[in-house]
Amino acid sequence: MKNGMFGFAVVGTGGIVDRFLDALSRVAGAKAVAVFSRTAASGEAFAARHAGLSVYTDYDRMLADPAVDGVYIATPHFCHKEQTLRALRAGRHVLVEKSAALTAPDFADMRREADAAGRTLLEAMRPDFDPAYDTLRDALSRIGRIRRAALTFCQYSSRYDAFRCGEVKNAFDPAIGNSALLDIGVYPLHLCLSLFGMPEAIHARSVYLENGFEGAGALLLSYQKQGFSADISYSKVHNAVIPSAIEGEDGAFTIDKVTEPHEILFLPRGGEPIRLPISSEENNMRYEIEAFLAMTRGERSASPYLDLTENTLTLMDKACPYPAPHGR
Protein backbone atom coordinates (compact mmCIF):
# COMPACT_ATOMS: atom_id res chain seq x y z
CA MET A 1 0.00 0.00 0.00
CA LYS A 2 1.22 3.49 -0.81
CA ASN A 3 0.67 6.12 1.88
CA GLY A 4 -1.71 3.76 3.66
CA MET A 5 -4.02 3.66 0.62
CA PHE A 6 -5.19 0.23 -0.60
CA GLY A 7 -5.01 0.03 -4.39
CA PHE A 8 -7.73 -1.93 -6.18
CA ALA A 9 -7.50 -3.25 -9.71
CA VAL A 10 -10.89 -4.01 -11.23
CA VAL A 11 -11.20 -7.02 -13.53
CA GLY A 12 -14.00 -6.47 -16.00
CA THR A 13 -15.79 -3.40 -17.32
CA GLY A 14 -19.48 -4.22 -16.93
CA GLY A 15 -22.07 -2.11 -15.15
CA ILE A 16 -21.46 -3.81 -11.80
CA VAL A 17 -17.87 -2.49 -11.89
CA ASP A 18 -19.15 1.08 -12.32
CA ARG A 19 -21.32 0.45 -9.27
CA PHE A 20 -18.36 -0.95 -7.34
CA LEU A 21 -16.28 2.14 -8.08
CA ASP A 22 -19.16 4.39 -7.04
CA ALA A 23 -19.23 2.61 -3.66
CA LEU A 24 -15.43 2.64 -3.42
CA SER A 25 -15.40 6.43 -3.78
CA ARG A 26 -17.14 6.60 -0.39
CA VAL A 27 -14.72 4.27 1.39
CA ALA A 28 -11.76 5.72 3.27
CA GLY A 29 -8.31 4.27 2.72
CA ALA A 30 -8.82 2.69 -0.68
CA LYS A 31 -8.96 3.68 -4.32
CA ALA A 32 -9.02 2.14 -7.79
CA VAL A 33 -5.69 2.22 -9.61
CA ALA A 34 -6.10 -0.10 -12.61
CA VAL A 35 -8.56 -1.88 -14.87
CA PHE A 36 -8.11 -5.13 -16.77
CA SER A 37 -10.06 -5.72 -19.96
CA ARG A 38 -9.71 -8.21 -22.79
CA THR A 39 -9.46 -5.35 -25.27
CA ALA A 40 -7.67 -2.02 -25.08
CA ALA A 41 -10.70 -0.25 -26.55
CA SER A 42 -13.09 -1.36 -23.80
CA GLY A 43 -10.48 -0.76 -21.11
CA GLU A 44 -9.73 2.76 -22.33
CA ALA A 45 -13.45 3.57 -22.65
CA PHE A 46 -13.94 2.44 -19.05
CA ALA A 47 -10.91 4.42 -17.83
CA ALA A 48 -12.28 7.51 -19.56
CA ARG A 49 -15.27 7.33 -17.19
CA HIS A 50 -13.06 6.80 -14.15
CA ALA A 51 -10.00 9.04 -14.01
CA GLY A 52 -6.65 7.78 -12.80
CA LEU A 53 -6.86 4.13 -13.89
CA SER A 54 -4.02 2.34 -15.66
CA VAL A 55 -5.38 0.12 -18.45
CA TYR A 56 -4.14 -3.47 -18.86
CA THR A 57 -4.96 -6.19 -21.36
CA ASP A 58 -2.32 -8.52 -19.90
CA TYR A 59 -3.56 -9.94 -16.60
CA ASP A 60 -0.14 -10.90 -15.24
CA ARG A 61 1.31 -7.48 -16.02
CA MET A 62 -1.53 -5.89 -14.10
CA LEU A 63 -0.91 -8.18 -11.12
CA ALA A 64 2.76 -7.19 -11.19
CA ASP A 65 1.90 -3.49 -10.86
CA PRO A 66 3.20 -2.45 -7.41
CA ALA A 67 0.25 -0.07 -7.02
CA VAL A 68 -2.15 -3.05 -7.00
CA ASP A 69 -2.83 -4.49 -3.53
CA GLY A 70 -5.94 -6.41 -4.42
CA VAL A 71 -8.37 -7.16 -7.22
CA TYR A 72 -12.13 -6.97 -7.59
CA ILE A 73 -13.15 -9.66 -10.08
CA ALA A 74 -16.42 -9.11 -11.95
CA THR A 75 -16.07 -11.32 -15.01
CA PRO A 76 -18.29 -14.26 -16.11
CA HIS A 77 -18.47 -17.01 -13.50
CA PHE A 78 -16.34 -19.48 -15.44
CA CYS A 79 -13.40 -17.04 -15.24
CA HIS A 80 -13.50 -16.58 -11.47
CA LYS A 81 -11.43 -19.55 -10.36
CA GLU A 82 -8.49 -19.05 -12.71
CA GLN A 83 -8.35 -15.29 -12.23
CA THR A 84 -8.59 -15.66 -8.46
CA LEU A 85 -5.84 -18.28 -8.26
CA ARG A 86 -3.48 -16.20 -10.40
CA ALA A 87 -4.10 -13.11 -8.29
CA LEU A 88 -3.54 -14.96 -5.01
CA ARG A 89 -0.32 -16.51 -6.32
CA ALA A 90 0.84 -13.02 -7.26
CA GLY A 91 0.33 -11.95 -3.64
CA ARG A 92 -2.87 -9.97 -4.19
CA HIS A 93 -6.03 -10.00 -2.07
CA VAL A 94 -9.22 -10.99 -3.94
CA LEU A 95 -12.81 -9.75 -3.70
CA VAL A 96 -14.72 -11.83 -6.26
CA GLU A 97 -18.28 -11.23 -7.39
CA LYS A 98 -21.01 -13.73 -6.68
CA SER A 99 -21.20 -16.52 -7.43
CA ALA A 100 -17.58 -16.86 -6.40
CA ALA A 101 -17.10 -20.09 -8.38
CA LEU A 102 -19.00 -22.50 -10.59
CA THR A 103 -18.92 -25.29 -8.01
CA ALA A 104 -18.13 -25.88 -4.34
CA PRO A 105 -14.97 -27.92 -5.16
CA ASP A 106 -13.69 -25.03 -7.29
CA PHE A 107 -14.24 -22.63 -4.42
CA ALA A 108 -12.50 -24.99 -2.00
CA ASP A 109 -9.45 -24.84 -4.29
CA MET A 110 -9.60 -21.03 -4.24
CA ARG A 111 -9.88 -21.00 -0.46
CA ARG A 112 -6.88 -23.32 -0.03
CA GLU A 113 -4.83 -21.08 -2.29
CA ALA A 114 -5.76 -18.00 -0.23
CA ASP A 115 -4.66 -19.79 2.94
CA ALA A 116 -1.38 -20.84 1.33
CA ALA A 117 -0.74 -17.31 0.04
CA GLY A 118 -1.70 -15.64 3.32
CA ARG A 119 -4.09 -13.37 1.44
CA THR A 120 -7.74 -12.46 1.90
CA LEU A 121 -10.38 -14.05 -0.32
CA LEU A 122 -14.01 -12.93 -0.06
CA GLU A 123 -17.16 -13.28 -2.12
CA ALA A 124 -18.82 -9.94 -2.83
CA MET A 125 -22.15 -10.88 -1.21
CA ARG A 126 -23.91 -7.66 -0.23
CA PRO A 127 -26.51 -9.11 2.19
CA ASP A 128 -23.71 -10.51 4.37
CA PHE A 129 -22.58 -7.02 5.30
CA ASP A 130 -25.64 -4.79 5.03
CA PRO A 131 -26.48 -3.64 8.60
CA ALA A 132 -30.19 -3.89 7.78
CA TYR A 133 -29.88 -7.64 8.26
CA ASP A 134 -28.25 -7.20 11.67
CA THR A 135 -31.37 -5.25 12.64
CA LEU A 136 -33.56 -8.04 11.28
CA ARG A 137 -31.64 -10.73 13.18
CA ASP A 138 -32.05 -8.79 16.42
CA ALA A 139 -35.80 -8.55 15.81
CA LEU A 140 -36.54 -12.11 14.67
CA SER A 141 -37.70 -13.24 18.12
CA ARG A 142 -40.64 -10.82 17.83
CA ILE A 143 -42.47 -13.15 15.45
CA GLY A 144 -42.21 -16.16 17.76
CA ARG A 145 -41.45 -19.60 16.40
CA ILE A 146 -40.64 -19.38 12.69
CA ARG A 147 -42.85 -21.55 10.52
CA ARG A 148 -41.98 -20.47 6.97
CA ALA A 149 -39.55 -18.32 5.03
CA ALA A 150 -40.17 -17.24 1.44
CA LEU A 151 -37.17 -15.45 -0.06
CA THR A 152 -37.28 -14.29 -3.64
CA PHE A 153 -35.20 -12.44 -6.19
CA CYS A 154 -36.80 -12.30 -9.62
CA GLN A 155 -35.46 -9.66 -11.98
CA TYR A 156 -36.26 -9.40 -15.67
CA SER A 157 -32.87 -9.23 -17.35
CA SER A 158 -32.08 -6.22 -19.50
CA ARG A 159 -30.70 -8.71 -22.05
CA TYR A 160 -33.77 -10.95 -22.20
CA ASP A 161 -35.48 -8.83 -24.84
CA ALA A 162 -32.57 -9.58 -27.17
CA PHE A 163 -32.88 -13.28 -26.37
CA ARG A 164 -36.58 -13.20 -27.21
CA CYS A 165 -35.62 -11.72 -30.57
CA GLY A 166 -33.12 -14.50 -31.27
CA GLU A 167 -29.88 -12.90 -30.06
CA VAL A 168 -28.11 -14.88 -27.32
CA LYS A 169 -25.87 -12.63 -25.21
CA ASN A 170 -23.61 -13.73 -22.36
CA ALA A 171 -26.40 -13.35 -19.81
CA PHE A 172 -28.26 -16.25 -21.47
CA ASP A 173 -25.39 -18.38 -22.76
CA PRO A 174 -25.36 -21.75 -20.94
CA ALA A 175 -21.73 -22.32 -21.93
CA ILE A 176 -20.31 -19.68 -19.59
CA GLY A 177 -21.85 -20.70 -16.28
CA ASN A 178 -24.26 -17.82 -15.93
CA SER A 179 -27.40 -19.71 -14.91
CA ALA A 180 -30.20 -17.94 -13.11
CA LEU A 181 -29.28 -19.83 -9.93
CA LEU A 182 -25.61 -18.79 -10.07
CA ASP A 183 -26.43 -15.23 -11.08
CA ILE A 184 -29.68 -14.44 -9.24
CA GLY A 185 -30.80 -17.31 -7.03
CA VAL A 186 -27.55 -17.24 -5.10
CA TYR A 187 -28.73 -14.11 -3.24
CA PRO A 188 -31.88 -15.45 -1.51
CA LEU A 189 -30.30 -18.88 -0.99
CA HIS A 190 -27.20 -17.39 0.61
CA LEU A 191 -29.34 -15.11 2.79
CA CYS A 192 -31.41 -18.09 3.93
CA LEU A 193 -28.28 -19.96 5.02
CA SER A 194 -26.95 -16.84 6.71
CA LEU A 195 -30.14 -16.49 8.76
CA PHE A 196 -30.99 -20.13 9.47
CA GLY A 197 -27.99 -22.35 8.69
CA MET A 198 -27.85 -25.45 6.49
CA PRO A 199 -31.13 -27.32 5.91
CA GLU A 200 -31.61 -31.06 6.29
CA ALA A 201 -32.74 -31.41 2.68
CA ILE A 202 -33.16 -29.44 -0.53
CA HIS A 203 -35.53 -29.99 -3.46
CA ALA A 204 -35.15 -28.04 -6.70
CA ARG A 205 -37.06 -27.25 -9.86
CA SER A 206 -35.56 -25.27 -12.72
CA VAL A 207 -37.12 -23.64 -15.78
CA TYR A 208 -34.94 -24.03 -18.87
CA LEU A 209 -35.12 -21.88 -21.97
CA GLU A 210 -35.03 -23.20 -25.52
CA ASN A 211 -31.22 -23.19 -25.66
CA GLY A 212 -30.81 -25.12 -22.39
CA PHE A 213 -30.15 -22.03 -20.26
CA GLU A 214 -31.64 -22.10 -16.75
CA GLY A 215 -33.80 -18.98 -16.73
CA ALA A 216 -35.66 -19.42 -13.43
CA GLY A 217 -36.22 -21.84 -10.62
CA ALA A 218 -37.45 -22.65 -7.15
CA LEU A 219 -35.87 -24.38 -4.16
CA LEU A 220 -37.57 -25.92 -1.15
CA LEU A 221 -35.34 -26.16 1.93
CA SER A 222 -36.39 -28.37 4.83
CA TYR A 223 -35.55 -27.19 8.36
CA GLN A 224 -37.44 -30.02 10.05
CA LYS A 225 -35.52 -29.79 13.32
CA GLN A 226 -36.38 -26.10 13.58
CA GLY A 227 -39.97 -26.72 12.53
CA PHE A 228 -40.22 -24.80 9.26
CA SER A 229 -39.45 -24.82 5.56
CA ALA A 230 -37.99 -22.16 3.28
CA ASP A 231 -39.08 -21.40 -0.27
CA ILE A 232 -36.49 -19.80 -2.54
CA SER A 233 -37.59 -18.41 -5.90
CA TYR A 234 -35.47 -16.70 -8.54
CA SER A 235 -35.69 -15.66 -12.16
CA LYS A 236 -33.96 -13.74 -14.93
CA VAL A 237 -37.07 -13.80 -17.14
CA HIS A 238 -39.74 -12.11 -14.99
CA ASN A 239 -40.07 -9.70 -12.10
CA ALA A 240 -41.45 -10.53 -8.67
CA VAL A 241 -44.48 -8.63 -7.36
CA ILE A 242 -44.55 -10.14 -3.85
CA PRO A 243 -41.86 -9.25 -1.27
CA SER A 244 -39.79 -11.79 0.61
CA ALA A 245 -41.24 -12.86 3.96
CA ILE A 246 -40.35 -14.65 7.17
CA GLU A 247 -43.47 -15.90 8.92
CA GLY A 248 -43.81 -16.94 12.54
CA GLU A 249 -46.54 -17.87 14.99
CA ASP A 250 -46.72 -14.32 16.38
CA GLY A 251 -46.21 -12.29 13.22
CA ALA A 252 -44.08 -11.87 10.13
CA PHE A 253 -41.43 -9.76 8.46
CA THR A 254 -41.42 -8.64 4.84
CA ILE A 255 -38.30 -7.55 2.95
CA ASP A 256 -38.69 -5.42 -0.15
CA LYS A 257 -35.45 -6.51 -1.87
CA VAL A 258 -33.05 -9.13 -0.58
CA THR A 259 -29.96 -7.66 -2.27
CA GLU A 260 -30.37 -4.14 -0.92
CA PRO A 261 -33.25 -3.80 1.56
CA HIS A 262 -34.80 -0.37 1.83
CA GLU A 263 -37.85 -1.44 3.83
CA ILE A 264 -38.30 -4.28 6.31
CA LEU A 265 -41.76 -4.41 7.88
CA PHE A 266 -42.75 -6.18 11.10
CA LEU A 267 -46.36 -7.36 10.91
CA PRO A 268 -47.44 -8.48 14.39
CA ARG A 269 -50.33 -10.92 14.40
CA GLY A 270 -53.47 -8.82 14.73
CA GLY A 271 -51.55 -5.53 14.76
CA GLU A 272 -50.49 -2.75 12.43
CA PRO A 273 -47.28 -2.98 10.36
CA ILE A 274 -44.18 -1.46 11.95
CA ARG A 275 -41.22 -0.37 9.88
CA LEU A 276 -37.88 -1.55 11.26
CA PRO A 277 -35.39 1.29 11.82
CA ILE A 278 -32.87 0.46 9.11
CA SER A 279 -30.57 2.93 7.43
CA SER A 280 -31.11 2.48 3.70
CA GLU A 281 -28.19 3.12 1.37
CA GLU A 282 -28.72 3.29 -2.37
CA ASN A 283 -25.44 1.50 -3.09
CA ASN A 284 -24.79 -0.98 -0.28
CA MET A 285 -21.62 -2.37 -1.89
CA ARG A 286 -19.78 0.02 0.43
CA TYR A 287 -20.31 -2.34 3.36
CA GLU A 288 -18.69 -5.34 1.68
CA ILE A 289 -15.71 -3.23 0.62
CA GLU A 290 -15.21 -1.95 4.16
CA ALA A 291 -15.44 -5.49 5.55
CA PHE A 292 -12.97 -6.78 2.95
CA LEU A 293 -10.45 -4.07 3.79
CA ALA A 294 -10.78 -4.84 7.50
CA MET A 295 -10.04 -8.49 6.70
CA THR A 296 -6.91 -7.59 4.74
CA ARG A 297 -5.71 -5.68 7.81
CA GLY A 298 -6.36 -8.65 10.10
CA GLU A 299 -9.11 -6.81 11.98
CA ARG A 300 -11.86 -9.20 10.95
CA SER A 301 -12.03 -12.88 9.98
CA ALA A 302 -13.15 -13.96 6.52
CA SER A 303 -13.64 -17.57 7.62
CA PRO A 304 -17.38 -17.51 8.53
CA TYR A 305 -18.22 -15.80 5.24
CA LEU A 306 -16.12 -18.29 3.26
CA ASP A 307 -17.99 -21.09 5.04
CA LEU A 308 -21.29 -19.52 3.96
CA THR A 309 -20.12 -19.25 0.36
CA GLU A 310 -18.95 -22.86 0.31
CA ASN A 311 -22.21 -24.10 1.86
CA THR A 312 -24.27 -22.11 -0.63
CA LEU A 313 -22.31 -23.51 -3.57
CA THR A 314 -22.68 -27.03 -2.14
CA LEU A 315 -26.48 -26.67 -2.19
CA MET A 316 -26.42 -25.10 -5.66
CA ASP A 317 -24.37 -28.06 -6.93
CA LYS A 318 -27.16 -30.35 -5.71
CA ALA A 319 -29.95 -28.15 -7.05
CA CYS A 320 -28.64 -27.39 -10.52
CA PRO A 321 -25.34 -29.13 -11.35
CA TYR A 322 -22.98 -27.33 -13.71
CA PRO A 323 -23.20 -27.73 -16.60
CA ALA A 324 -26.97 -28.12 -16.48
CA PRO A 325 -28.43 -30.90 -18.64
CA HIS A 326 -29.93 -29.52 -21.83
CA GLY A 327 -33.70 -29.36 -21.82
CA ARG A 328 -34.02 -30.53 -18.22
In the prediction, which pLDDT does 87 show?
A: 98
Model confidence at 57: pLDDT above 50: yes
Model confidence at 324: pLDDT above 90: no
Q: Which are the contacts of 118, defined by CB distance < 8 A and separation ≥ 6?
A: none
The DSSP line for 5-45 is BEEEEEE--SHHHHHHHHHHTTSTTEEEEEEE-SSHHHHHH
Q: Report d(CA 170, CA 317) in Å as an integer.
A: 21
- What average pLDDT score do residues 36-44 get? 95
Q: Distance of alpha carbon 77 from its chain centroid, rounded?
A: 11
Q: Report d(CA 288, CA 129) in Å as an integer.
A: 6
**Range with the poorest average pLDDT among 89-98, 284-293, 315-324:** 315-324
- What average pLDDT score do residues 225-230 get? 96
pLDDT digits (tens, 9 = 90+) for 252-263: 999 999 999 999
Alpha helix (H) residue ranges in the chain: 15-24, 40-49, 59-63, 77-89, 104-117, 131-139, 160-164, 180, 186-196, 285-296, 303-319
Model confidence at 323: pLDDT above 50: yes
Model confidence at 198: pLDDT above 60: yes
In the prediction, which pLDDT does 327 show?
A: 38
In the prediction, which pLDDT does 326 show?
A: 42
Omega before residue 66 within 30° of 0, cis: no
Q: State the pTM of this model.
A: 0.94
In the prediction, which pLDDT does 176 show?
A: 81
51, 85 contact by CB (below 8 A): no
> How far from 156 is each of 160, 209, 214, 319, CA to CA, in Å?
7, 14, 14, 22
221, 201 contact by CB (below 8 A): yes
DSSP 281: -
Pairing of strands 244-248, 146-154: antiparallel
Three-class SS state of 150: strand
Model confidence at 132: pLDDT above 80: yes
Model confidence at 219: pLDDT above 80: yes
174, 213 contact by CB (below 8 A): yes
